[in-house]
Amino acid sequence: MNEAEIRKQLSFIPKLEGDLSRKKITGFDNVIVGGMGGSGLAARILFFLDPTFPAWLHDDYGLPTKHEGNTLYIAISYSGNTAETLSFAKEALAKKHTLAVITSGGMLLNWTLQNKLPHVLIPSGFAPRDAVLYMLRALLCVIGREYLFLDPQEDLIDFQKAVEHGKEIGEKFEKKIPLIYSSRSNYTLSYIWKIMLNETGKIPAFANYFPELAHNEAQGIIPETAGLMTKNLKVLLLSDQEDSLELSRVMTVFQTLASSQGVEVLSLNLPQGRTNKLLYVLSIASVTAKAIAELHGVDANSIPFIEQLKKSL
């Protein structure tokens, strides 16, 4: 996502259509979001922006096995044709749960209109991973939490520098398997990197977080014990001065020890503020993934195997 695309999505003003009033929405005890892949990413970002908000992501068919209190169900499918999300929405309606929908079209929109459900229609024509800010703004509109995603502090984000840095990282990760590591509070940002590298870059990439990975995965990437399996691994460490002192120390010590034992570790400093962190990562991860796709000679936009998999089901 370049600066123009980000600015355009930031200017999007979602409109909730239907009979689910804001007053009624604020009466819910919790929210369950049904969404897959890039569409489900909007819910993950909600958790990142406000870890205290009582919301859960259901990235599966049907509904969660249990829920508590007065729950609002929100189905998000950018294309409107996601089988799992259609299953989620139809079961929620069949069980007479309160349901809202976010989509750009497809079968989900047609079904929503037929059932006169409250919904937000978002612009079409993008890959879901590249339309995440549209879906995020729509989600915040539905739950009445627009204030969680304020305009970024422009002095803290240099989009041009992010583009240049993204290309540099892409070159460093050519023919590598990225391991994106962060603190737990920034895990959504690591996951954004993973999605971009998987779908746009067409490479295997994995995300994990400290301190948990220091108790298991850290051992599995050391060349001395894992051998040749580690030769293509490379760590991207998301460093954040707003992390706790304990976490910062763990990550610093990990980088020092892992590097001394032959693990390639590249550190990326995040800006201050959650909105700034999010937009910075969306920008730089997208550029990196596109650079890798170009270096490997593949189309950055298409996802042929995923489409084949969907059609074969």
- Over residues 97-134, the pLDDT tens digits come to 999 999 999 999 999 999 999 999 999 999 899 999 99
Domain boundaries, the chain: 3-148, 156-296
CATH of 3-148, one of 3.40.50.10490, 3.40.462.10, 3.30.2420.10, 2.20.25.190: 3.40.50.10490
Closest by CA to 265, choosing from 236, 291, 286, is: 236
Q: pLDDT 10s digit of each residue in the chain, 313 long?
A: 778 888 899 889 999 987 665 555 667 889 999 999 999 999 999 999 999 999 999 999 999 987 778 999 999 999 999 999 999 999 999 999 999 999 999 999 999 999 999 999 999 999 899 999 999 999 999 999 999 987 665 555 788 888 899 999 999 999 999 999 999 999 999 999 999 999 999 999 999 999 999 999 999 999 999 999 999 999 999 999 999 999 999 999 999 999 999 999 999 999 999 999 999 999 999 999 999 999 999 999 999 999 999 889 8
* CB 43, CB 139: distance < 8 Å: yes
Tens-digit pLDDT profile for residues 42-73:
999 999 999 999 999 999 999 998 777 899 99
pTM of the model: 0.94
Q: Do domains 3-148 and 156-296 have the same CATH topology?
A: yes
> Considering the domain 156-296, what is its CATH architecture?
3-Layer(aba) Sandwich (3.40)
Closest CA to 50 of 249, 162, 171, 185: 185
